[in-house]
């Protein structure tokens, strides 16, 4: 047996693993493993990411193991970084996008509505430090009470944006005309 006979197969295996690794990294960079990116119109995703360059959309993989299980059981696998509903009762397409900072433990909640010219108007509803990655979803119309004062009750005729840290707390963001208000609904 010559030196080349034993080394060549090993080099070929290493090269094969390297190619698979490079392909996996490239696919991840393109968002192939990011199914939530596909639940948002491309023009909205482009606008949100260009304005929020060091932030990325929250994916299921961003949640801890326990939170991932809780989310899957509560939301049936929907994306923890995307909510879609008629939040302001305008009838126009609207999204709530939850982004995590790529450089620090911070989250940013965006509200986006399609304007008459077909583009998206984007507003920041919330930004803050996080210990665990929060999730966002569309709440149901109806009655909500404050976590601090259960006597304080509001009735919503449109879906609120719910920002929650699973098993920790939640805040409802809702519209009164063009104004966005918030109510801590659990602590």
User: What tens digit of pLDDT does each residue of 4-58 get?
Assistant: 455 544 444 444 333 333 333 333 343 345 778 888 999 998 888 887 888 889 9
Provide the 8-state DSSP code for 160. P
Q: What region, left, alpha or beta, does residue 76 occupy, with left being phi > 0 and alpha being psi -120 to 50 degrees?
A: left
Q: What is the pLDDT at residue 22?
A: 34
Token couple for 143 = 């009655």
Percent of the chain with pLDDT over 70: 81
Query: What per-residue confidence (pLDDT) applies to 86?
Result: 92
- Rounded distance between C-alpha atoms, residue 140 and residue 143, angstroms: 9
| H runs (alpha helix) in 38-162 | 42-51, 65-75
Average pLDDT over residues 181-187: 93
Phi-psi region of 151 (alpha: psi -120 to 50; beta: other; left: phi over 0): alpha
For residue 5, the model assigns a pLDDT of 54
Residue from 135, 93, 129, 128 nearest 111 by CA: 93
At 15 the pLDDT is: 40
């Amino acid at each position: 047996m010559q030196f080349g006979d034993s080394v060549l197969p090993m080099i070929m295996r290493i090269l094969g693993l390297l190619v698979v690794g490079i392909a996996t990294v490239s696919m991840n960079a393109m968002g192939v493993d990011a199914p939530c990116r596909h639940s948002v119109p491309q023009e909205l995703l482009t606008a949100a990411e260009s304005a929020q360059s060091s932030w990325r959309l929250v994916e299921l993989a961003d949640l801890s193991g326990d939170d991932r299980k809780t989310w899957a059981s509560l939301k049936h696998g929907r994306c923890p970084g995307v909510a879609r509903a008629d939040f302001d009762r305008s009838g126009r397409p609207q999204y709530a996008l939850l982004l995590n900072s790529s450089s620090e433990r911070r989250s940013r909640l965006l509200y986006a509505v399609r304007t008459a010219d077909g583009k998206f108007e984007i507003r920041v509803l919330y930004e803050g430090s996080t210990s665990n990655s929060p999730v966002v979803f569309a709440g149901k119309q109806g009655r909500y009470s404050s976590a601090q004062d259960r006597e304080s009750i509001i009735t919503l005729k449109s879906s609120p944006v719910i920002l929650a840290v699973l098993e920790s707390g939640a805040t409802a963001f809702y519209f009164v005309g063009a104004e966005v208000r918030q109510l801590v609904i659990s602590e």
